[in-house]
Structure formats: structure tokens, C-alpha cells
Amino acid sequence: MGYSVVAGAAGRLLFGYDSFGNVCGKRNSPVEGAPLSGQDMTLKKHVFFMNACDLEVKDQWLGPTALCVSSCPEKQLDTLEEVQLFADINGRC
């Protein structure tokens, strides 16, 4: 944490961030070379990991993608379709 404070990235530890460099719950500045950075995430205060356990879902690997979302799922998402629907409704997709 000390390094983050000195380097100016303490907000990433406090609020979490998505896979595109946006800090959740904050208005972000664009990062050169990161086309999905610079998003206004003030209403999306939570981090949702598309596949927190890094498992395969129906023979498809989702990878460790993280999205800033307005709310977290209220139930376990068991299928790829459920994950995609949740991301479409609550994420930036």
C-alpha cells in the first residue's frame, strides 16, 4: 500500500479497477494505448470479475476480465449466458 500512495495509485486499491484501467466509482482520464480507458464510472462502484476462479465455462475460457458494475449479482451465475447477461445489464458492455 505504501508504494501505491507514493506512486499515486492508492485509489486502485481502495475502490478497485476494471481490466481497462478505469477505477470503479470514479471519473477516469484516458490512458494512451488503452481505448476503453477514460470512462465515467461514478455510478459503477463495484468490481465484477467475469471469472474469479479462472475456470472454463462450457469449454470456453473467460479469462480474468474485471468490469466496474453498478451492482453485484444476487445469485451465482452458472452459465456463460448468465454471465454475459449480467455484464450487459450492469457493466459497460
Here the cell at position 13 is: 486499491
Here the cell at position 25 is: 466509482
In this structure, how many other beta carbons lie within 10 angstroms of the beta carbon of residue 1? Answer: 8
> What are the structural domain ranges in the chain?
2-90
Per-residue pLDDT tens over the stretch 29-73: 998 988 899 999 999 999 988 765 555 555 655 567 888 999 888
Distances (CA, A) of 6 to 9, 10, 17, 57: 8, 8, 18, 40
Cβ–Cβ under 8 Å, residues 49 and 63: no
Find cell 468490481 and name the residue: 47
Which pLDDT band holds residue 91 (cuts at 50, 70, 90)? low
For the CA atoms of 53, 82, 57, 51, the dihedral, rounded to the nearest 10 degrees, stands at -20
